[in-house]
């Protein structure tokens, strides 16, 4: 399994009626890599992630997960949405252990693991709280634990921190970077924020403006690890990478603006 790509897209396209949203995209994501996807608003980033999750199928082409054609839901992936998917009638502990229960863990074993994760995400003492009693940042911590407690091979993240204030967002980014660096999990992360993409990733994918969105660039991020997210944006190599990627991304953003105003 280690030599197989975690995800391979083979000439995939996705149409909605007569509108071709994504056209003939191919790529591979190596196992244990952190890849971010950026592009203009509405270009199909979430659609691409949904196809990898198996929530929707390509109209053409094929997606493979660790060498196997993806049919139906991607059982090797956990998905963290922009809006958390916490169950309002379950406590924090209940939400964290829910995925383990679905996988057949006993109540005792799932509770033990959930309590360990509760402490790991800094919410010890909040296990019996309900989602409505938590701040936005606390809810995100619970959602992170939900994803990672099941030890998935692949974590898909769709702009999970976009609604958070800058300080909470920074703490969540640090948490995800630490989790990814200490595991064998592959992460595919959708974001509008190019700085966030560079700071977190091993590679950044750039999508073109819609419709008929294509993959127009792949950029390796060779910044050393572990990374200090407080200081990394002042690093000269970070700034060079930003300018290089933004030069190409800007063209697509301007195309999107021209389309909207034409």
Domains and CATH numbers, the chain: 1-76+156-262 (3.40.50.300), 84-151 (no CATH)
Sheet of 186-190: strand order equals 77-80, 154-158, 186-190, 34-38, 203-207, 215-220
Q: Specify the DSSP element, H or E, that contains 188.
A: strand 186-190
Assign 2 a pLDDT band (cuts: 50, 70, 90): low
Each residue's pLDDT tens digit, 173-211: 998 998 998 889 999 999 999 999 999 999 999 999 999
Helix (H), strand (E) at residue 155: strand 154-158
pLDDT at 257: 57
Q: Is the pTM of this model over 0.85?
A: yes
On average, the pLDDT of the chain sits at 92
Averaged pLDDT, 47-73: 96
* Cβ–Cβ under 8 Å, residues 246 and 217: no
Q: What is the CA radius of gyration of the chain?
A: 19
Chain segment 237-247, per-residue pLDDT in tens: 999 999 999 99
């Amino acid at each position: 399994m280690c030599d197989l790509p975690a995800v391979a897209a083979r000439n995939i396209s996705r149409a909605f009626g007569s509108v071709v949203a994504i056209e003939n995209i191919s790529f591979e994501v190596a196992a244990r890599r952190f890849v971010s996807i950026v592009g203009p608003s509405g270009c199909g980033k979430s659609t691409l992630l949904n196809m990898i999750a198996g929530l929707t199928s390509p109209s053409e082409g094929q997606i493979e997960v660790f060498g196997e054609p993806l049919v139906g839901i991607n059982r090797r992936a956990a998905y963290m949405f922009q809006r958390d998917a916490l169950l309002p009638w379950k406590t924090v502990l209940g939400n964290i252990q829910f995925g383990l229960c679905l996988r057949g863990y006993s109540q005792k074993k799932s509770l033990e693991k959930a309590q360990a994760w509760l402490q790991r995400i800094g919410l010890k003492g909040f296990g019996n709280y309900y989602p409505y009693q938590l701040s936005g940042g606390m809810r995100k911590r619970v959602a992170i634990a939900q994803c990672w407690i099941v030890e998935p091979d692949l974590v898909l993240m769709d702009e999970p921190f976009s609604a958070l204030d800058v300080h909470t967002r920074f703490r969540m980014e640090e948490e995800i970077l630490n989790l990814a660096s200490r595991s064998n999990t592959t992460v595919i992360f959708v974001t509008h924020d190019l700085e966030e993409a560079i700071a977190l990733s091993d590679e950044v994918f750039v999508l073109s403006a819609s419709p008929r969105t294509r993959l127009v660039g792949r950029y390796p991020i060779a910044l050393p690890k572990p990374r200090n997210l407080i200081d990394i944006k002042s690093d000269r190599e970070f700034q060079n990478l930003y300018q290089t990627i933004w030069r190409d991304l800007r063209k697509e953003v301007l195309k999107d603006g021209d389309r909207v105003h034409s």
